[in-house]
Amino acid sequence: MAYLWCEDNKEISEWQASLAAGSRLYLDTEFMRERTFWPQLALVQVHDGVRIRLIDTTEVDGPTLLPVFQNHTLVMHACSEDLEAIATFTGQYPAAIEDTQIAAALSGEDMQWGYQKVVQMLLGVDLPKGATRTNWLKRPLSDEQLHYAEDDVKYLPEVAGILAERLDGLGRRAWWEEECARLLKQARSQVLPQDAWRNVKGAGLLQGESLAVLAALAPWRDQMARERDLPKSFVLKDAQLLDLARTNRTDRGLLADLGFHPKQIRRDGDALLALIEQARGQTPPDPLPGPPDMAQKKLAKTLRSRVAIIAEELNMKPDVLMRRRWLEALIRHPERVPEPLTGWRNDVVTQPLLELL
């Protein structure tokens, strides 16, 4: 199947208008994000069931592509990062998705299977991986990149069809729809500024005034990363945030003593010291839960054994049914069931575990 290279807005609009509303498009993206906060969409690969189009998003604009993402169900594999790239480029998340990685997991395969693995296991086709880490924004793209991009959607309709048939046979199509809707909802949700500290590695080690300082610094870092279009770690590394949160000083020499670069001190020093000063004496947020105690660990072991039995009966991997953080949350607060354990998991695994609790 030969692909079409598309870099003209009018051509894309005419093609999109010819498609039936609500039809499935089999899609993948290539984007760059190594040195930016916002993903830079470089290419969109679309299989419409007849032809493959490689759409050059360095030439085609977001408004032109938006109907492609809004008027159709997008079938993708492991698409959480693709969703963010699409939303950054067009301003909106897709309207509906079907993720074949989720479908594979619900049909009994490993939850982390990549696209190449799925194609190899289901179709016996070995796909090359050589172009994965290349520069997708540079033009012209190499033949290797173009063939890699084509392969990313060439087999997707067949893969999706096989997995959908499996799920229909198992009576799990509704599970797939629920999980995909949850993934899309999660992608659309944004971390509130007051909760940014929760994503700092090591935040669980802090409490009291140190946690109050971290809760003030983390939203500032996120805001600067967005404004400067830099990865958060380029603004402040997690370890630097923790060092600042733990300090009892607010003098300018503190930053030099902590190893901050002079340029960084000149640019951000006053703002950081002011935030630290303001945060002192503020009421800190509730700290993150500590590690499970011995009783909770023993209970978790019992519950994991039950999960393993249920998973074996369903011919599914246990971590598809239950993640560690969900289980720990359920043990701590059985009256507050984590959202992923509602829906189809409620009868399958949640209620049996609550009975044990």
Q: Are residues 202 and 273 in the same domain?
A: yes
Residue 21 lies in a domain: yes
Residues 204 and 246 in one domain: yes
Q: Is residue 340 part of a domain?
A: yes
Is 208 contained in some domain? yes
285 part of a folded domain: no
Please tell me the predicted confidence (pLDDT) of residue 140: 96
Q: Is residue 287 part of a domain?
A: no
Kindly report the CATH number assigned to the domain that includes residue 132.
3.30.420.10
Which residue among 188, 213, 246 closes a domain?
A: 188
For residues 270 and 298, membership in a common domain is answered with no
What pLDDT sits at residue 1? 59
12 & 161 share domain? yes
Shared domain for 11 and 160, answered yes or no, is yes
Final residue before a domain boundary, out of 137, 158, 188: 188
Q: Are residues 9 and 113 in the same domain?
A: yes
pLDDT in tens, the chain (357 residues): 589 999 999 999 999 999 999 999 999 999 999 999 999 999 999 999 999 999 999 999 999 999 999 999 999 999 999 999 999 999 999 999 999 999 999 999 999 999 999 999 999 999 988 777 899 999 999 999 999 999 999 999 999 999 999 999 999 999 999 999 999 999 999 889 999 999 999 999 999 999 999 999 999 999 999 999 999 999 999 999 999 999 988 888 999 999 999 999 999 999 999 999 999 989 999 999 988 899 999 999 999 999 999 999 999 999 999 999 999 999 999 999 999 999 999 999 999 999 998
Query: Is 267 found in the same domain as 128?
Result: no
Please say which residue of 171, 188, 205 terminates a domain.
188
Are 32 and 159 within one domain? yes
pLDDT at 2: 84
Query: What's the pLDDT score for residue 88?
Result: 97
User: Quick one: 255 and 334 in the same domain?
Assistant: no
177 and 213 together in one domain: no
Residue 288 in any domain: the answer is no
Does residue 330 lie within any of the structural domains? Answer: yes
CATH code for the domain of 230 = 1.10.150.80
C-alpha distances (whole Å) from 118 to each of 45, 171, 294 are: 18, 21, 40
Report pLDDT for 129. Answer: 80
8 Å CB contact between 183 and 105: no
275-293: pLDDT as tens digits = 999 999 899 999 999 888 9
**Count of domains in the chain?**
3
- Considering the domain architecture, whether residues 197 and 154 belong to the same structural domain is answered as no
Q: Is residue 289 part of a domain?
A: no
SS (H, E, C) the chain: CCEEEECCHHHHHHHHHHCCCCCEEEEEEEEECCCCCCCEEEEEEEECCCCEEEEECCCCCHHHHHHHHHCCEEEECCCHHHHHHHHHHHCCCCCEEEEHHHHHHHCCCCCCCCHHHHHHHHHCCCCCCCCCCCCCCCCCCCHHHHHHHHHHHHCHHHHHHHHHHHHHHHCCHHHHHHHHHHHHHHHHCCCCHHHHHHHCCCHHHCCHHHHHHHHHHHHHHHHHHHHHCCCHHHHCCHHHHHHHHHCCCCCCHHHHHCCCCHHHHHHHHHHHHHHHHHHCCCCCCCCCCCCCCHHHHHHHHHHHHHHHHHHHHHCCCHHHHCCHHHHHHHHHCCCCCCHHHCCHHHHHHHHHHHHHC
Whether 166 and 311 share a structural domain: no
Catalytic residues: 28, 30, 82, 148, 152
pLDDT at 290: 85
Label residue 75 left, alpha or beta by phi (over 0 means left) and psi (-120 to 50 means alpha): beta
Which domain range does residue 121 map to?
3-188
